[in-house]
Amino acid sequence: MFEYVKKSLLTGVGMALRSKSEIRDLAEEFAKSTQMNQAEAREFLEECQQKYEDARSKLDKRMENAVEEILKKMDLPTRSDIQALNKRIDDLVKQIENKA
């Protein structure tokens, strides 16, 4: 039962949608209610924080990908498109300067 509740608490989407302080509070409350010793509670809190960071990172990446896809559908240039064009312009300017 303990492992089931623990896994439920660490669910990725739920972790990503909560704030860091909410996660810490939930972990501390869970540790108290299950009567964990200090070492177990500390380990559990660290695990919760790591899962939070992982879930947040994955959510951010998914959001970036979704925005990029929307930009492609709207036929708008992405940051990488603009950077590539800027590099090409810089290269052309250097070529012109070298010939002059």
Q: Residue 64 is part of which domain span?
A: 2-99
Distances, alpha carbon 55 to alpha carbons 30, 45, 61, in Å: 20, 15, 10
d(CA 20, CA 23): 5
Q: What is the pLDDT along the chain (100 residues), one digit of tens a residue?
A: 445 555 555 555 455 556 667 777 777 777 777 777 777 777 877 887 787 788 778 888 888 888 878 877 888 888 888 999 999 999 999 999 998 7
With 0.75 as the threshold, say if the pTM is over it. Answer: no
CA dist 63 and 95 (Å) reads 39
**Domain count for the chain:** 1
Question: Which ranges of 1-100 does DSSP label H, i.e. alpha helix?
Answer: 2-9, 12-16, 20-33, 38-73, 79-99
